[in-house]
Amino acid sequence: MQTHVQTVGQVSERALQQNRVLRNTYLLLALSLIPTAIGAFVGVQLNFSFMAGSPLLSFLLFLAVAWGLMWGIQKNKDSGLGVALLLGFTFLMGVMLGPILQVSLGFRNGAALIFTAAAGTSVIFFALAGIATVTKKDFSFMGKFLFIGLILVLLAMVANIFLQLPALSLTISVVAVLIFSAYILYDVSRIVTGGETNYIMATLSIYLDIYNLFVHLLRLLLAFAGERD
C-alpha cells in the first residue's frame, strides 16, 4: 500500500514538474518575441548590402555568432544568464529578419503577406502544440529523421547560395515548413513526456522552430502571392 502511494506521489510530482516546465517555456517564449520584434525593426532600418556582396561569408559569420550564443545558453541553462543570453539571441534573430522583411515591404501587399505568414505560423504552432499536449504521445521517434532532414536542408541552402535556382529555393522552403512543423510537435512532446526538463533549452528549441517556420512560410507567400508595384 505504501509503495502504491509513493508511486502515485512520484507520478503526480513528475506531472507537476512537466506542467511547470511547459508553463515557463511558454512564458519565456512569449517574452522572447519582444526582443525579436525590436531586432526586426532595427534590421529593417539597416543596409545589408554587405551580405549580398559575400552571401556565403555572411551566412557562415551568422552561423558562427548564432552557434556561439546557443553554446552560451546551453552552458548557462540553469541560471539567469541563460535567460539573458537567450533574449540576446532572439534580438539577433530579429535583426536577421531584416533582409526578408525589406524584400517583403517592397511588394504592394508585403505587409499583408508578413501578417499572413505570422498568422499561419501561429495557427500551425497552436494546433501542433495542442496535439502534443492533449494526446501526450511520445514523438521522440521522429528525432533522427528530422535531424537528417534539417542537415539536408542546410546543405541545400548553402548549395543554392552558388546555384541561385528559384525552383530549388521553393523546394527548400516547402521541405523546411514540413520539417519545422514536425519539430514543433517533437519539441513540445519532449516537454510533455519529460524528455526536456529545462525550460530555457525548451524555449530555445521551440523558438527556432517557430522562427524558421515563419521565414519559410513568408518566402513561399512572396513567391506565389507577392504583388509587385
What string of pLDDT tens digits covers the 229 residues of the chain? 555 545 555 556 777 888 899 999 999 999 999 999 999 999 998 877 656 667 777 778 888 888 999 999 999 999 999 999 999 999 999 999 999 999 999 999 999 999 999 999 999 999 999 999 998 888 989 999 999 999 999 999 989 988 889 999 999 999 999 999 999 999 999 999 988 899 999 999 999 999 999 999 999 999 998 888 6
Is 0.95 topped by the overall pTM?
no
- Cβ atoms 153, 172 nearer than 8 A: yes
Q: Is there a contact between 131 and 76 (Cβ–Cβ < 8 Å)? A: no
Its sign, for the CA torsion 67, 21, 122, 184, is positive
| Long-range CB contacts (within 8 A, 24+) of 43-50 | 43/94, 43/95, 43/96, 43/97, 43/98, 43/99, 43/101, 44/98, 44/101, 44/102, 44/105, 45/98, 46/95, 46/98, 48/98, 48/99, 48/102
